[in-house]
Structure 1
Amino acid sequence: MLMTPAFSPASSPARFKLNRLLCIMALGLASGLSLASADEAGEISRLLNEGRVEQASTKVDNYLRANPGDVQMRFMQGLIAAEQHKSERAIKIFTELTRDHPNLPEPYNNLAVLYAAQGQDQKAVEVLEKAIRVSPGYPTAYENLGDLYVRMAAELYGKSLELDASNKALEPKFAQLSRLLPGGDIDQQALSARTKDAPAASQPAPSPQSGSSAIAAKEPPASPVVQEAAPSPDVEQIKSVVTRWARAWESQDLESYLGAYSEQFVPAGGLSLDKWKIQRRQRIVGRPDITVKIHEVKVSVQGDTASARFRQDYASGVVKDSVHKTLRMKREGDAWRIVGETTS
């Protein structure tokens, strides 16, 4: 499992909400740099994962007093400061990291997150461009810069709507761009307030396509429609179970989350089912905002058993991971429930 710190800035001052503006990837540390041991780093990650931020902060600060040049711990110190909403301290830490290690792209990326959270979008753009210059193969900076450009464009369209609410073309552009942003939320009340006196758009905007231009183009002839076999009811039901399971986890609805599991569920690591449920309560209820995104769900059904395989992106507080997960499922009456899960 790849554990990667992440920072969730507050909602943007823009007229649309961002659950997570930019993601922060783990620090890709070059050889020869001073690094904390795996045990020390693992202990701090565990404290953060448990929400014990103050203890993690104390441990990092004590370590750095004895090892002031450790890049990994300095990076963690910056993340913890961001989690504690000490933005200026976090900016100072990551700025010093870019000065001392100018070829590492990750501190630049984190600075961009902090600047963007303060509404300093142009500064965030400049820092992300530096990350790309020092590491042209660092994909996160490209993605984050793209997200930032989308956000800036949506803000400009929103401002244009304020000035000219009668322009039919603006509302769908604004809504379309807002849906591309992480979180995909648009402040409908603010949008309605700007457009309530404007005529409704004659047609909804077309969905964005790769390489599409803002200038209207003649559509190519439609391709022949190929009929695909409809998924079996079991496959659709299992996908629905997986979706509800992820949403319950994300909303910290422990009853619905545990309800997705069978009483025959076998936890990993030799835990009893009762102890596993207690552990899950500790790791879900009361945590910082949780996001659980699932991708590419593939279901295989064999009689009354099935498996659902997918990629899972998890984030909460300063902890983020991306894993491949398999849920083993069994039909119990009219429902499918989880009897086992593996993660890689």
Structure 2
Amino acid sequence: MSKRALAASLLLACLAASTPVLADAPQDIQALIKQGQFTQALERTDQALAGKPRDAQLRFLKGVVLTELNRGNDAIAIFQKLTEDYPELPEPYNNLAVLYAQQRQYDKARNALEMAIRTHPSYATAHENLGDVYARLASQAYDKALALDSSNTSAQNKLALIREMISPTGKNVRPTAPAPVSVAAAPAAPAVTPPPVAKPAPAPVPATPAAPAPTTVAQAAPKAPPVVASPPVPPAPPPAAKPTQKDDPKPAAKPEPRDESAAQSAAITRSVQGWATAWSHKDIKGYLSYYARDFDPPKGLSRKAWEEERGQRLTKPGSIEVALENVQIASVAGDKATVRLRQHYKSANLSTSSNKTLILVRQDGKWLIQQERVGG
């Protein structure tokens, strides 16, 4: 575990609701979590979710409670589904990184943090956390180098330096208590330090994320960073007044059109990353949903035969890891885009790296894969 322990994001938000019961649910659940009444908090969360099954904040709270109950795999499933339904929110990625780090799955923790950074490139704490994960990975690599060659003084010196930065247990820090939720307004997230077993601190996911808050410096494994808000969207300029017959005959100056290229590029990147994530988690339905209706299957297969083949491969025993590198949007023309990337694939029986080109089209407001080919 690193010096700055990987803790969960803590965001206290008050969401409007149609009934007092649902409106008070997040506050009630947070109070139960603060009191350590995790079983009751889970019951209250399930009760609230029965009325609002897709509520992001309630689902996130359930993941937090499951983590506190040491039901890590169930919590991972909650946060993973949130990343698929709300890929623009960094909090679920952060808490995935917490859980993966607890399981010593540092590659997955790294991937989760990289997704948080892609969602919010200015997420400074996530960058620092990523450095902590790399420190742990470096320590493992130097250990292996010394196991192969115990006389390697360079590796010895580097390992000693890394060990000065990390704790062997990562159980040095207690979490700070969460601040109470205000019914009138959503306060900024307080600083949080990790609990003795590096569990994520409770934090509901808002419909609109709030501003980030720094976390307390601690010992050892990387912490999950606090919530970083999406930058507010500036209001659209008012339409130019139409001239009357008495106005200057010259047409009124038109407002500058908004640059949509950044938002479009972000949507394309999210779709590609979501496709890789669903593939890594062997989510057949989610994986296939990233392919367009007119997708051109390889090897001359029909769409049905191709889907059956993919389903058989994804259901084979063993894990799958798909990591993307150097994702570049080569071109965008209307509703069609070309993306080039480096794909690293690893399963129980195969490990490959290859360049890949994806042709995506926009259908029903989503960017979906129309063609997929190896190479440029």
**TM-score, with length taken from structure 1:** 0.47
Looking at secondary structure, tell me which structure has more helix per residue.
1
**TM-score, with length taken from structure 2:** 0.43
